A = this chain, B = another copy of it.
Amino acid sequence: MKKTDVLIIGGGPAGIVTAVTGKSSYPDKDFLLIRKEKQVVTPCGIPYIFGSLGSSDKDAVSDSVLTGPGVGLIIDEVVSVDKKNKVCKTAGGLECSFEKLVIATGSIPQVPAWLKGSGLENVFTISKSKAYLDEMLEKLQHLQKVVTIGGGFIGVEVSDEIVKLGKDVTIVEILPHVLGAAFDEKVVIKAEEILKSRGINLRTGVGIKEILGEKKVSSILLSNGEKLGADAVILSMGYSPNTGLAEKAGFKINEMGFIMVDEYMRTDTQGIFAVGDCAEKRDFITRAASGVMLASTATSEARIAGMNLYKLSAVKTFGGTISIFSTAIGETGFGVAGLTEKLAKEEGFDIVIGSFEGIDKHPKTLPGMHKQFVKLIVARESGVILGGEVIGGISTGELVNIIGLAIQNRMTVSSILTMQVGTHPLLTAPPTAYPFIKAAAIIAKKINPAG
Instruction: Give residues in A with beta carbon < 8 Å to B.
Output: 13, 16-17, 21, 24-26, 42, 44-45, 47-48, 52-53, 58-60, 65, 284, 294-300, 303-304, 307, 310-311, 313, 315-319, 321-322, 324-328, 333, 335, 337, 362-363, 365-367, 393-402, 404-406, 408-409, 411-412, 414-415, 417-428, 430-432, 434, 437, 441, 445, 451
Contact = CB atoms under 8 A, between A and B. Distances in A.
Contacts of A405: 402, 405-406, 409, 419
A397 B5 CA distance: 43
Contact of A422 (B65, B325, B367): B325
Given A42-B363, A48-B366, A319-B418, 18 more contacts: A24-B445, A25-B451, A44-B362, A294-B422, A296-B422, A296-B423, A307-B417, A311-B451, A316-B418, A318-B418, A325-B424, A328-B427, A333-B427, A337-B422, A394-B394, A401-B422, A404-B421, A405-B406
Nearest to A406: B405
A299 B45 contact: no
Given A363-B45, A366-B48, A425-B44, A420 B404 contact: yes
A71 to B, nearest CB: 13
A72 to B, nearest CB: 18
26 contacts: A13-B430, A17-B431, A24-B451, A26-B451, A42-B430, A284-B420, A294-B422, A295-B423, A300-B431, A307-B417, A315-B412, A315-B414, A316-B414, A325-B424, A326-B422, A326-B424, A327-B427, A328-B426, A394-B426, A398-B402, A401-B402, A401-B421, A404-B421, A405-B405, A405-B406, A409-B409
Given A13-B432, A451-B26, A420 B402 contact: no
Given A398-B402, A423-B296, A425-B45, A431 B13 contact: yes
- Identical copies in the complex: 2
Nearest to A410: B409
A322 B333 CA distance: 28
B431 A44 contact: yes
Contacts of A311: 451
Contacts of A441: 21, 24, 303
B394 A427 contact: yes
Contacts of A426: 48, 327-328, 333, 394, 397
Contact of A414 (B21, B313, B367): B313
A444 to B, nearest CB: 8
A162 to B, nearest CB: 16
B366 A52 contact: yes
A13 B427 CA distance: 18
Contacts of A325: 422, 424
A52 B367 contact: yes
